[in-house]
Every structure is written in structure tokens, then in C-alpha cells.
Structure 1
Amino acid sequence: MNIGKLYIISAPSGAGKTSLVKQLVADLDDLTVSVSHTTRQMRPGEAHGQDYYFVSVADFQAMQEQQAFLEHAQVFDNFYGTAQQTVEENLKQGLDVILEIDWQGAEQIKKLLPDSLSIFILPPSTEVLLQRLRNRGQDGEEIIARRMRDAVTEIRHHDEFDYLVVNDDFALALTELKSIIIANRLTRQRQLHNLRPLLASLLS
């Protein structure tokens, strides 16, 4: 049985992670995003079970007590968590799984699942990051200022990741992300499973 690969993708808010991951999943087969649980409010255009599982604080804490999360963290005033069962089921089906989590979550996952690969997406500059946050039109200046401070904290942890991708040109950043996943699908370990019939015929 071919087991999928787990990818951790992190970035400061406004770096373009969500848009890149959405296009990445659309362009590559056998790749899925693990839907996290969160206590934050649903934003316009989001759907329960698709973007997040939106749950109450009480429900989230009950899952914590049951040790149902691979990782969980508090970001701003909200809780986020990755359910272990969802991830394991997808990996066993041979799917590559993406976790969109912050550096704290990445640290937890790396300890539990050291074979996972981590990617950090950087903005091309502080100015571009600020402009992207303002262009969203979702937050006031006070929240944007807090997101900018948190971005510095996130970026300080870049050296804990396996890959660094700069999202200056969207198409280029997308190509680089695809390259990471495709290259890892060609490792000997995974190809021995996929190419077993071919290798048998070539060596007979």
C-alpha cells in the first residue's frame, strides 16, 4: 500500500498561502488539504467542512480532552486544531495531505511525524505584505497592525522549515510548490511501490 506524504505549509497572514494552496490542490491529483477545526467566526464565502470545521469553544475543548488533535494552537483570540483521524485516513488512501498551520503547529507535527515536510511561504517585502492585508478589506487598521507584528514572529521561525518559497510572482511560487511535491513523489521509496510491475517486467 502506498502511503501519502504529509506537507506542512505555513506563512504569515497576507503572504498568499490560502490562494496558493487552493490552486495547488486544483492542479495536482491525489492532493488534499486537511480541514482544521476552529472556534473563530465563519467569514463571508466560507463553508463549514470545506474551509474549516467551525465549532464552539466547548466542543473544541472536549476534543482536546479526548486527545483528538495532532496539533492545536491559539491564534489571536481563537483556537485551531488538526484532527488526527482525518489526516491518517487520507494518508492511508495514498493521498498527499497539506496542513495549513502556523509555526507552533508545525513544531508539534514535526515531533509526532518527523517524516512530514514543511514549507514556509514568505512575502517579497514588508510593504507588499501590508498592502495585501489592506486590500482584503476585512480588518481595521488596529487588527492589521497586530497581524503585521505577528508576521514578524512567524517569519523568525523560517529556519525551522525544510523549504522556503517567496510569493512575489504567484505563478512562479505555484510552480515551485508543485516542484516540491512532484519531486517527493519520485523518491525511490514511493516509486518502488508505483513501479513494481514495470521493474518486474524489466528485470525478468
Structure 2
Amino acid sequence: MEKSHGLLIVLSGPSGAGKGTLCQELLRQMPDLKYSVSMTTRSSRPGEVDGIHYFFRQKAEFEAMINRDELLEWAKFCDNYYGTPRFAVEQAIQAGQDVILEIEIQGALQIKKCFPQGVFTFIVPPSMDVLSERIHKRGTETEEVIQKRLATAIEELEYVSEYDYVVVNDEVPVAVDKLKSILIAEKCRVKRKPFVFKGESV
């Protein structure tokens, strides 16, 4: 049987929903899973390292990559660009490796159009109050920016129907277990990996 291609797992949801935390824990528990590092023009936050959390680039360089079609997807969010370098993702999937992307909703919808066989999962907070509390605790943004993010989050929740799955991030261990279950189920789908019994008719 030919080796099947890897899965493209897309995680997105409102800012502050905990996508990054879930992604990190999932990668810790599933070491064979490859994390696709996104590119952004926003400033790095305390503790973030270029090339590990994001590729931090200037606006002009990002726009040049858009023009050269070197991004699998890209979006502009809160006045900053976000995108996914194309080559590394496509190479890993073709080699049979599972790749996980943690991206904004605009980018996820772009990928869904060109790669509908991806696994699209929407991460949501337990409530808007919890979301507000999480964003405030970051301490990295002004109140004006925080309010803009909360208003955007309300709009983004309307896109949940575009996804295959939704996971409420209330308790991280529980949410991670749900994500692992989704991946296991997707690998068992007949359309992804048709199986032929040899030697006997069934």
C-alpha cells in the first residue's frame, strides 16, 4: 500500500481562546507532529523567539512574499500581517508527516478553499468574560487594542460553522484530549486511507 500523505491540522479561533497553549501541549504529547511556524509583521511579545514562535518580518518583506506567491495563506489582522510559508508545509505533508497550523480565521478560510481535506478545528473560550480576563492578563496591549480584539472575537465566533470541529478550551488537559481524539478519528477515515484486504474476500 502506498504511503498516505500527512494530515494538515488547522487550529484557529478568537484571540485569547488559548490556541497557542493547546498547540504546545499537543506537540509535547505527540512528538511526531510538525508545527508550522507562521510569519507575522507584529512585534514580538516577551519570551517569543524569532523562528520558534513566529518568523517576525518587516511589512515590505512580507508583501514581497505575497507577490511571489510564497505563502500558503495570509491575512491582515489588527493592522498586522500573518501568513504561512508554503514550501515547508507542502513538503512535510507529501512526505507523510502531520502538520499543525495555528492561524487566524481569515487564513484558515483561505486554506480551506485550496486544501479542503485539511482538518479544521475552531477553539473557543468558555465565555466572553473568560476571554476578556485572559487577554487582560497578558498585559501586553492597551485597553483600546483589547476592546478591539474582544469586538473582533464576537464577529469571529460567527465563522464556527465553517469548521469541521469545535473545542471549548475550559480545562487544557480535557481540550487536548479532544484534539487528540479528533486526529485519531481523522486517520481512520476511509476516504483518507482506503484499505484492501488481501487473500480473502470480505
Shared fold by TM > 0.5?
Answer: yes
Unaligned 5+ residue runs, structure 2? none
Bigger share in helix: 1
1:182-197 equivalence runs, <5 A: 182-188=184-190
Match of 1:137 among 133, 136, 139: 139
**Alpha-carbon separation, structure 1, partners of 2:192 and 2:116:** 17
1:48-63 equivalence runs, <5 A: 48-63=50-65
Q: Would the aligned equivalents of 2:9 and 2:98 in 1 still touch at CA under 8 Å?
A: yes
Q: Would the aligned equivalents of 1:11 and 1:154 in 2 still touch at CA under 8 Å?
A: yes
**Alpha-carbon separation, structure 2, partners of 1:170 and 1:48:** 26
Post-superposition Cα deviations, 1:80-125, rounded to whole Å, max 9, x if no partner, equal: 1111111101112211111111221111111101111210011111
The residue aligned with 1:10 is: 12
**Alpha-carbon separation, structure 1, partners of 2:109 and 2:94:** 23
Q: TM-score, normalised by structure 2?
A: 0.91
The residue aligned with 2:119 is: 117
Q: Would the aligned equivalents of 1:31 and 1:95 in 2 still touch at CA under 8 Å?
A: yes
**Alpha-carbon separation, structure 1, partners of 2:130 and 2:183:** 27
Q: TM-score, normalised by structure 1?
A: 0.90
**Alpha-carbon separation, structure 2, partners of 1:169 and 1:13:** 17
Match of 1:149 among 151, 170, 191: 151
The residue aligned with 2:130 is: 128
Post-superposition Cα deviations, 1:122-166, rounded to whole Å, max 9, x if no partner, equal: 111111111111111222222111110111111111111110111
The residue aligned with 1:79 is: 81
| Overall identity of the aligned pairs, in % | 43
Number of residues of Structure 1 aligned to a counterpart in Structure 2: 199
Amino acid at match of 1:118: F
Q: What root-mean-square deviation, in Å, do the aligned CA atoms of Structure 1 and Structure 2 show?
A: 1.8
Q: Would the aligned equivalents of 2:71 and 2:83 in 1 still touch at CA under 8 Å?
A: yes
Amino acid at match of 1:173: A
SS in 1 for 2:136: helix
**Alpha-carbon separation, structure 1, partners of 2:94 and 2:31:** 16
Q: Would the aligned equivalents of 1:102 and 1:154 in 2 still touch at CA under 8 Å?
A: no
Amino acid at match of 1:156: E
Q: Would the aligned equivalents of 1:39 and 1:78 in 2 still touch at CA under 8 Å?
A: yes
| Deviation >6 Å, runs of 4+ | none
